C-alpha cells in the first residue's frame, strides 16, 4: 500500500472491513469527526451544480451523502453490492419524499467507470478516494466521464506534513479506535482499516499534483479540518 495504490489482497480485505462498518457507519463517523461530517458534506454539495444536472458519486457507501442531494439526477457507484443494497432504499425513499428522481445505483470501481465519455455535469467522492486501489487511474476515469468544464470534488483526510500525519494517526488510533471497540463490542473492529488507509494516504499537495497530472485544471485544495478533512476540486478543461 502506498499513497497511489493498494494491492489487490489488501483492497479485498479493506472492502470486507468497510462492509462490516455498515450497521454503525454513520454513528461512528459523527463521533470520529466530532459532528463535523455533515458540514463537510454540505460544503461538497455547495461546490457542485444544484439543478438541471447529472452528477456522479464515486464510492457512495451506504448512501450517507447521497440521501441529501436534491434537485439533480444522481448516479451512485460503489464496488460493494452490500453497500449499494444499504444505500438504495435509504436514498430513494428520501428522494421520493422530496419529489426527486430515483438514483441509479451502479456496481463498479473508480478505476474502470462503466460510463460514456463526457456524460456528467459534476462528480464527487466523499471518504472513498483514500480507498481507491489506483488513485491516478480513478482520477483519469472521472476526468473522462465528466463533460468539458465540469468539476470533480473530493473530501478525505489528508495530512499537511509528517507531524500532522502522526497526530492524525494518534487521533484515529486512540479516540476513534476506543469508541469503535466499545460500539462494535470486539477488539478487532473493522475501523482499524481507517487507521491503515490514513497512514498510507498522501498529503494534500500529493493529490493536487495528481489531479493536475491527469489533466484537471484550476485544481485547489482546502484543509477544512486539519487531519480529518481536505476538499480538493478541479475542472475538466473546456
Ligand X SMILES: C[S@@+](CC[C@H](N)C(=O)[O-])C[C@H]1O[C@@H](n2cnc3c(N)ncnc32)[C@H](O)[C@@H]1O
Contact call for residue 152 and ligand X (CB under 6 A):
no
The least distance separating ligand X from the CB of residue 52, rounded to whole angstroms, comes to 24
Q: Any contact of residue 132 with ligand X (CB under 6 A)?
A: yes
Give burial (CB, 10 Å; 0-12/13-18/19+) of 228.
buried
Least distance in angstroms from the C-beta of 238 to ligand X? 27
Phi-psi region of 99 (alpha: psi -120 to 50; beta: other; left: phi over 0): left
133 in contact with ligand X (CB under 6 A): yes
Single residue of 28, 32, 56, 58 touching ligand X by CB under 6 A: 58
Among 40, 56, 78, 204, binds ligand X (CB under 6 A): 78
Nearer to ligand X, 83 or 103 (CB): 83
Among the listed residues 64, 92, 140, 197, the single contact to ligand X using CB under 6 A: 64
* Separation in Å, CA 174 to CA 25, 44, 119, 179, 189: 18, 28, 43, 8, 13
Nearest by Cα to 27 from 64, 60, 68: 64
CA distances from 79 to 61, 105, 159 (A): 9, 11, 26
Give contact residues for ligand X (rule: CB under 6 A): 15, 18, 58-61, 64-65, 78-80, 83, 109-111, 126-128, 131-133
Amino acid at each position: 500500500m502506498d499513497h497511489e495504490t493498494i494491492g489487490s489482497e489488501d483492497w479485498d480485505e479493506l472492502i470486507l472491513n468497510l462492509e462490516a462498518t455498515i450497521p454503525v457507519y454513520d454513528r461512528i463517523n459523527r463521533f470520529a469527526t466530532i459532528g463535523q461530517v455533515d458540514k463537510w458534506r454540505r460544503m461538497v454539495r455547495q461546490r457542485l451544480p444544484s439543478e438541471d444536472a447529472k452528477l456522479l458519486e464515486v464510492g457512495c457507501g451506504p448512501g450517507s451523502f447521497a440521501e441529501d442531494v436534491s434537485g439533480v439526477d444522481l448516479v451512485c457507484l460503489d464496488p460493494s453490492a452490500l453497500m449499494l443494497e444499504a444505500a438504495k432504499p435509504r436514498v430513494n425513499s428520501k428522494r421520493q419524499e422530496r419529489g426527486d428522481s430515483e438514483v441509479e445505483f451502479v456496481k463498479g470501481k473508480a478505476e474502470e467507470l462503466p460510463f460514456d465519455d463526457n456524460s456528467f455535469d459534476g462528480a464527487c467522492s466523499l471518504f472513498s478516494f483514500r480507498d481507491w486501489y489506483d488513485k491516478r487511474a480513478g482520477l483519469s476515469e472521472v476526468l473522462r466521464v465528466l463533460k468539458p468544464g465540469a468539476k470533480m470534488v473530493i473530501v478525505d483526510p489528508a495530512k499537511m506534513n509528517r507531524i500532522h500525519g502522526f497526530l492524525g494517526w494518534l487521533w484515529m488510533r486512540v479516540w476513534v479506535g476506543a469508541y469503535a471497540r466499545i460500539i462494535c463490542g470486539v477488539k478487532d473492529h473493522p475501523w482499524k482499516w481507517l487507521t491503515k488507509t490514513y497512514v498510507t494516504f498522501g498529503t494534500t499537495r500529493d493529490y493536487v499534483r495528481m489531479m493536475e497530472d491527469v489533466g484537471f485544471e484550476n485544481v485547489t485544495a482546502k484543509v477544512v479540518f486539519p487531519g480529518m478533512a481536505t476538499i480538493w476540486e478541479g475542472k475538466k478543461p473546456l
